């Protein structure tokens, strides 16, 4: 999740949509963008989860959210499923999994 007070946008990081690459690029373009932080309705910074939902961010921001543009990317469900399959079959979880622990 990215928050830009100066550019007035919130980028919601949806899993398996390339959001990590987008996050990294946006922060490289504008280092003032906050990662996993949002201004609450009182103007106080609140830490939030990377994959927080837009509804949760809006609840934290209160009426302040009406002045921000919310951005997110989605993928077709079939593509998400395929991506997750290959991630778990070949990615970090597959590498760190200890197969000897299976009976």
What pLDDT score does 69 carry? Answer: 98
How many CB atoms sit inside 10 A of residue 61's CB? Answer: 19
3-state SS assignment for residue 46? strand
Question: Is pLDDT at 99 greater than 70 in this prediction?
Answer: no
What pLDDT score does 90 carry? Answer: 82
- Provide the pLDDT confidence category of residue 101 given band limits of 50, 70 and 90: low
What pLDDT score does 92 carry? Answer: 67
User: For 26-84, what is each residue's pLDDT tens digit?
Assistant: 999 999 999 999 999 999 999 999 999 999 999 999 999 999 999 999 889 898 888 88
């Amino acid at each position: 999740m990215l928050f830009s007070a100066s550019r007035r946008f919130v980028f919601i990081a949806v899993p398996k949509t390339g959001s990590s690459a987008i996050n990294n690029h946006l922060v490289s373009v504008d280092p003032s963008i906050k990662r996993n932080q949002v201004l609450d309705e009182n103007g106080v910074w609140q830490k939030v989860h990377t994959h927080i939902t837009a509804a949760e961010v809006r609840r934290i921001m209160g009426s302040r959210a009406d002045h921000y543009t919310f951005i997110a990317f989605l993928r077709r469900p079939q593509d998400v499923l395929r991506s997750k399959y290959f991630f778990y079959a070949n990615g970090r979880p597959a590498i760190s999994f200890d197969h000897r622990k299976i009976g």
